[in-house]
Amino acid sequence: MSVLAIDIGNSRVGAAFFTDGKTADPAARMDLGAIDAELPPLLEKLWKAAKQEWEESAPSPGAAIASVVPALTPRVARMVQKICGVIPEQIGVDLDIPLPNRLTDAATVGVDRLLGALCAYVNTEQACAIISAGSALVVDCIDGDGVFLGGAISPGLAMGAKALHTWAAQLPPASLEPPTEPIGRNTLEALNLGLYAAARGAVRELVERYANQLGAWPHVVATGGDARRLLGETGLVDSFIPDLVLQGVALVWEHHSRSPRKRARTV
């Protein structure tokens, strides 16, 4: 089973082709502002590279989109339909995510969070804390039975830096270089140190809270564009999985493809 998985995030779009849950190449990513120029040739490249493999097998491949930017979803779907000849299915709309939860309002939770938790649990088969370090810094929790408990959302590094520069008249933009000194000796060093310390401290406190709730320390999974530079030296993370959400997209598509339902529509 093969699927073109697309993840539309707040800052970037990622795409990869999965066969039986695995992809031969890392996901390709681009800034949201570049999708009109960069996404069509990427889709052509992915579809052409995979064509020889699936032309000789059945069933034919599908396409699935996970999006937290609703305004962009139809545009990307039209690109996929035009270039690949497949009408993509949308996670959370056409395909539900098979993940039980204890949320008070599941409808407000982004599909990226649910997909990341699902993929983390499938990969580890144990309770997990899932850290997504991107535009926002999200730390979620799934228990040992695969139930999504919820989590916490705070500003990511770049968002925090932008807020400080915007709201404090004399603060320059932070470089976001990982701090090397225990004390900031000038304004830029102080900004970087404060942003990193705040983010790292929040992550550690949240994981500790989840551990207390679970009764054991969870497996810590990290993803997102800032994951390694923020947490790579902390020793807190057990697994870095850059394509966590895209893997989740493929998992959900395959789950539904193996159950009785209509096949992916072609045009």
Tens of pLDDT, residue by residue over 83-108, are 989 999 999 999 999 999 999 999 99
- Residue 264 confidence (pLDDT): 47
Q: What are the helix and strand counts (H, E) for the chain?
A: 7, 10
Query: Could you give all domains of the chain from N- to C-terminal order, each with its CATH number?
Result: 2-96+247-257 (3.30.420.40), 106-244 (3.30.420.40)
Q: For residue 57, what pLDDT is reported?
A: 56
What is the predicted pLDDT for the residue at 262? 46
Is 226 labeled as catalytic in the residue annotation? no
DSSP string, 102-117: --S-GGGS-HHHHHHH
Render the burial of 37-46: b for 16+ CB within 10 Å, e for the rest. Answer: eebeebbeeb
DSSP state of 232: T
Q: How many angstroms separate the Cα of 254 from the Cα of each of 53, 59, 89, 91, 122?
A: 17, 12, 12, 12, 13
The whole model's pTM is what?
A: 0.91
Quickly list H helices, the chain.
35-55, 73-84, 111-124, 157-167, 187-214, 227-231, 244-257
221-231: pLDDT as tens digits: 999 999 999 99
* pLDDT confidence of residue 52: 65
Name residue 104's amino acid. Answer: T
Q: Exactly one of 112, 140, 143, 226 is catalytic; which is it?
A: 112
Query: What tokens does 17 get?
Result: 């082709």
- The stretches in the chain having pLDDT less than 50 are 262-264, 266-267
Q: What CA–CA distance (Å, rounded) separates 157 from 233?
A: 16
